[in-house]
Amino acid sequence: MLFDSLLASYFFYGWWDWRFLGLMVGATTADFFIAQNLLPGRPDSSRKKWLILSLLINLTILGIFKYYDFFAGSFVGMMNQLGFHHLPLPLIRIILPPGISFYTFEEIAYVVDVYKGKVAPSNSFLDYGLYISLFPHLIAGPIQRPGSLLPQIQKERSFNADQFFSGLMLIFSGLIRKCVVADNCALLANAAFGGQLGPPSFWVVLIGVYGFAWQVYGDFSGYTDIARGSAQLLGFDFVVNFRQPYLSQSLREFWRRWHISLSTWLRDYLYIPLGGSRNGQWKTCRNLFVTLVLAGLWHGANWTYVVFGAIHGIFLSFERFFLPAAKRPQDAVPPGGWAGALSVWAQRVFIFNVFCVSLAFFRAPTLGAAVHLLAGLGHFAWQTQYVAALVMLCVFSIPLFIADLLMEARKQEYPFAEAPYAFRTAMAVLAFVVLALFSGSQSSTFVYFQF
């Protein structure tokens, strides 16, 4: 059973390019054997050397394939500006291996947790290999922790009708989010960022960043639902990766709700090792800023992602420094009545718009393009074509927003998760109809496949 699952996962990954399969299997094999030398009973100096070796292997592979050209090109560009031309620095034109950012983080989590004694090293390559390569999470997460997924792989699984049915419903939810919400909002974002809506203006920026905000949310949360649903069909439970992030009242709360598997990984394996919040406010803010800049860079080898992370790092540091825990919006008890509701929604709207401004850098191909787009906020020229674009944005974003409100109120993983089987079956049939009628006219790959 495990061998068949591992073989199927490797076939799934190697179908696109078998050479990248060899890279992943090689890294997996190295970490499997290194972990055997990280047992707590061994001398600490020896264990630390093996840990450093694993980190060097994983980060070197990630650095070469994802970041070498970025840093080499940036260095050459800087030297050109200083008058040093034609530097003999080679560039490696290679294709980014799919999912490398995700499975590298899972391998690092495994060796670090074994080193700290949080999990025992796996004695079976089949178990560990399947933990890394299990196909639902392999390409774009959620990033799995060894303490969560490995025990599920190592134990016998049996068919569970409730789990299977919920898995199907999660898949339907993900398809609606991706094919209906994300793909249609992508048409608006592409038009705004590509110049088809005219020169940048307040309305073009609004359509572009709002369209992309709902595209990337529908796209990635949709993929997560499909991945989690597929895993449940196989008897596995993946971690929840999104909890209605656009209802956040602070940026700190936002990162507790958005891409949770990444934000908790960064907290545990980067922010806390840097010092976390142990050494005063200034060092805490520094650690937050460094963590978020590296989080931005994790998304891609481009200065636009660095700025995206820096924006979040600055705002998180601001919240940490100027808003003590008792005064943070998500921790405060709002006043009752209309005043309390308005306060909550004002905070939610503000945080959503901060995120949308950062997305201008996330989506734009260059820093100059992002700045050029945002410069249009000071121009309010109106064109009649904006009416259709804004109506389309509302039609495809508001239903997902309402679904989030429903799930937030009921603490559910998908709408109507606790409804009777007959009702959920009817919702699944309705999902097929909606998919048939309203799926985006231009199919597109998942946004996070590129990371």
Non-local (6+) Cβ contacts of 166 within 8 A are: 229, 232, 413, 414, 417
- Compute the distance between CA of residue 298 and CA of residue 309 in angstroms, rounded to an integer: 9
Quote the tokens at residue 60.
Answer: 């070197």
Active site residue 299: yes
- Compute the distance between CA of residue 377 and CA of residue 382 in angstroms, rounded to an integer: 12
- Compute the distance between CA of residue 432 and CA of residue 426 in angstroms, rounded to an integer: 10
- Compute the distance between CA of residue 373 and CA of residue 39 in angstroms, rounded to an integer: 53
Phi, psi at 225, each rounded to 5°: -60, -40
Q: At residue 22, what is the residue type?
A: G
276: left (phi over 0), alpha (psi -120 to 50) or beta: left
- Compute the distance between CA of residue 18 and CA of residue 150 in angstroms, rounded to an integer: 25
Total residues belonging to the chain = 451
Asked if 81 contacts 28 with a C-beta cutoff of 8 angstroms, the reply is no
C-alpha distances in Å from residue 97, one per residue of 18, 280, 299: 10, 40, 14
Q: Which of 85, 137, 259, 299 is catalytic?
A: 299
Residues 342-351: contacts with CB under 8 Å, at least 24 apart: 344/249, 347/249, 347/250, 348/246, 348/247, 348/248, 348/249, 351/248, 351/249, 351/250, 351/251, 351/253, 351/254
Q: Which residues are catalytic?
A: 299
